Chain A
Amino acid sequence: AQSVTQLGSHVSVSEGALVLLRCNYSSSVPPYLFWYVQYPNQGLQLLLKYTTGATLVKGINGFEAEFKKSETSFHLTKPSAHMSDAAEYFCAVSVFYGGSQGNLIFGKGTKLSVKP
């Protein structure tokens, strides 16, 4: 069964510092992987997604993630944190069933705080 583990429920960085949010997945088949961001009292916004091909995926707002099959990881990074990056971040994996029905399985989320 597919699952997602996000290491660290809360990460705090200084403005301008590297952001690293960790995600490990479990999947019996090649996965589709996603990072979403959620600002307070809002829905989920897609940051980036991995399907096949290039393992380094670039997303919006300067974020990127690298798919490492050998480590079953899909960590999210940003070279320089901005105050506006403060939000909660969710890693997710696609689950597919017979008949093309699919849904997402999410990790528990990592809350990113950015200190001035």
Chain B
Amino acid sequence: DAGVTQSPTHLIKTRGQHVTLRCSPISGHKSVSWYQQVLGQGPQFIFQYYEKEERGRGNFPDRFSARQFPNYSSELNVNALLLGDSALYLCASSLDPGDTLGYTFGSGTRLTVV
């Protein structure tokens, strides 16, 4: 079975641009969570989606948004990119939003803002 897949694996954007990151969960998993990992830090929770609805949000500005599709895949959007948005963005899927024990992480998307 395929694990959690994220695309693209790497991308470079310019300040002020917009970016869309994608995540496909493990088959049967209905919840997707997004985390931001800045270099030298641990991952920080951004969003959690379940059954296409936002179930949780971390302390991130409104420039960050996300959505989940009927097939449970998800997109993370970041507008008006800042240099500080450069990070590894990790997606985790689970059966339901409370199932932190069953988290499976993808390999991440490395975003560089120049």
Contact = CB atoms under 8 A, between A and B. Distances in A.
A45 B42 CA distance: 14
Contacts of B43: 44, 90, 104, 106
A43 B90 contact: yes
Given A43-B107, A44-B90, A107 B98 contact: no
Interface string B38-55: 001111110010100001
B31 to A, nearest CB: 9
Interface string A83-116: 0000000101010110111111111110000000
Interface string A57-95: 000000000000000000000000000000000101010
Interface string B16-39: 000000000000000001010000
Contacts of B48: 101, 103
Contacts of A34: 100
Contact of B55 (A99, A105, A106): A99
B98 A96 contact: yes
Nearest to B107: A43
A103 B58 contact: yes
B56 interface: yes
Interface residues of B, number: 27
Interface residues of A, number: 29
Contacts of A44: 43, 90, 105
Q: A36, A43, A90 — which one has the most chain B CB atoms within 10 A of its CB?
A: A43
Interface in A30-44: 32, 34, 36, 41-44
B96 interface: yes
Contact of B105 (A43, A101, A107): A43
A106 B42 contact: yes
A55 interface: no
Interface of B: 4, 33, 35, 40-45, 48, 50, 55-56, 58, 90, 96-101, 103, 105-108, 110
